[in-house]
Structure 1
Amino acid sequence: MLSPGTIYDHKRSYHSGEKPFVCDICGSSFSTNPILKKHKINIHTEGRPFPCDQCQYGAKSLELLRRHKLVHSGEKKFQCDDCGACFPRAATLKEHVLIHKDIWPHHCQFCPKRFKNIRQLRRHEEVHLDQYKYQCKVCGKRMRQVGNLNTHMRTHNGEKPYACDKCGKRFAHNVTRKQHMESCFGNMDMLPSTQNLLPLPLPIGLQFPSSAIDCTGPPQHRF
């Protein structure tokens, strides 16, 4: 019988969408603490300090090493009910079962594509990583252009460089400011000329340090 705590974790993980456990390194959030711990091991642990004594493989944790050694033991106790294929790990069987179903649970963070298993997703995202060269040092999000990264940084530093000419209310994006001004002026013909829609200088205290922008790609030139 499942404990109340286990039932609560299950509901939070699969039904509520709540993600209270936040990674202190990159800011990613997760529904349970074990998932957060796995994230830190898989994403933020450098090197592979746990070598396999039967091959050249190195694992990031003892748990991953234990799973890997099942490959050498030849034991395959997890069987697919649909086709009879056997696997050494339950997780591998779980991925395999998706072949028989129209389920694509792994989403690419850069495009709408989905994949049946995490390995396919990672191979696919490597293509994007060559294109998204500008990375935010605060949350890790990547951009194609440095201008998009500068705009994204406003979500972290609170910068609002665009001000309404009528009421002075400030906005992070010019599009939002224009929508506000339509309601503020009531008539599109009454809006100020585009010369008045340039961003106002940001107070020095609100300026975000350039060190927060990670430009890992070659400089872009405009001709």
Structure 2
Amino acid sequence: VDHCEESRPLTYTPHQCSQIGEKDLSTNSVKSFISNKLLINENSSHKTQSDVHSNEKPFKCSNCNKSFTHKSNLKVHLRLHNNDKPFKCSNCNKSFTHKNSLNLHLLLHSNESPFKCSSCSKTFNQKRSLKLHLRLHNNEKPFKCLVCNKLFTYKESLNVHLRSHSTEKTFNCSLCYKSFTHKSGLNYHLLLHNNEKQFKCPVCNKSFTHKRSLNVHLLLHGNEKSFKCDICNKLFTQKRSFSVHLRLHSNKKQFKCSVCNKSFTYKRSHNAHLRLHGNE
């Protein structure tokens, strides 16, 4: 019992980590260091101190040579190459490689949009989408065209723009072999082949292949002439007719005869004139 009354000094000496330093062994310092640096879960608790501080990435992917610090990270990465998607949505059966991708996808089904724009109150179901949206408010245009120096908010917009500098038409119609620079142009063109007229006039039920054709048609029902000439006050239903009319005031004759160099305001006049040369 006597030995219980004795007070003995603590003789334990903690193992010193070379990364913290000799004089910085306060409880807060050690806790902070552990939380920020030693993020070791139960699967990697066998890692030594030198493994954690080292930038060594010993686990290499045999498919793309990408390297990883932990074997578990390599295993997750290999799912991409193996097209392994173990995380399945119970609502639509869509599968995902990573669990966090599934979690983001589930927000779509719940209609939950927790990320709100402070400028216009628009909401988003992903933080990344909100960040991209904020570029519009900040007038942020980080993507620059190296050909003409034009700036763009989104990379996708830059990629579409770059095609305008190229004459390459990679989107081919399998029915008439006509080619297009943009996929949207091909899709627009395919409506003609399908004779699909999805745009219907609510007044007379006439259908149109393209929305712009419907818009022009609707002006006829309303007899709306929204294009006014500032010179003679004449009104026009269609912008195209208005543009053609302006040539009269400007005396612009852009259609030139290649035979006698005579110029014409309208293409139809030019074509009629060419027929005269054909009779010579």
TM range (shorter): 0.3 to 0.5
TM-score norm. by structure 1 comes to 0.34
Highest CA radius of gyration, 1 or 2? 2
TM-score norm. by structure 2 comes to 0.28
- Return the structure number with greater relative CO, CA threshold 8 A, min gap 6: 1
